[in-house]
A = this chain, B = another copy of it.
């Protein structure tokens, strides 16, 4: 069994434990949604999640999607991000080497930035009167592609 499949098994198990502990039912919809996150792309907004499930002939209503996302957030198998736009993004959280997000304020594209050193610095910070579970670092700025375009435009003037 390769690493990807192993992770899928582990998160499935973790989800099962969580659902049992909360006395929630183990429905195929819930497992299908979890599985998408650990099979496919990493980032989804609700619409693309809905579409991907449909493409696989697994029809899930939006109500169930939102319901399940809440469960997955609660048991820390999925993270939710909002990068300024009024659209939520979700990504897998287990075994997804915690990374930072670089958001270009010109083209709105999002890059991931893995920086183990900085991550450890943040994770090891002691905070008074607060027990951290996880963190999100969003760095806003201009990506190199947009920077180049802007330079060109300025030269024309």
* Interchain nearest-CB distance for A38 vs B (Å): 21
12 A-B residue pairs with Cβ-Cβ distance under 8 Å, sorted by A, are: A102-B127, A113-B130, A122-B137, A127-B139, A130-B141, A132-B140, A134-B141, A135-B137, A135-B139, A135-B140, A136-B136, A136-B140
A136 to B113, CA, bound (A): 14
C-beta contact mask, A132-157 vs B, less than 8 Å → 1, else 0? 11111111111110010000000000
Closest B residue to A73 by CB, please name it. B84
A22 to B111, CA, bound (A): 29
What's the number of copies of this chain in the assembled complex? 2
Question: Which residue of B84, B88, B137 is within 8 Å of A137 (Cβ)?
Answer: B137
C-beta contact mask, A120-134 vs B, less than 8 Å → 1, else 0? 011001010111111
Q: Are B142 and A129 in contact (CB under 8 A)?
A: no
Additional A-B contacts beyond A102-B132, A131-B147, A135-B137 (13; CB < 8 A): A80-B84, A86-B88, A113-B127, A122-B137, A127-B141, A130-B139, A130-B144, A131-B142, A134-B140, A136-B136, A136-B137, A137-B137, A138-B138
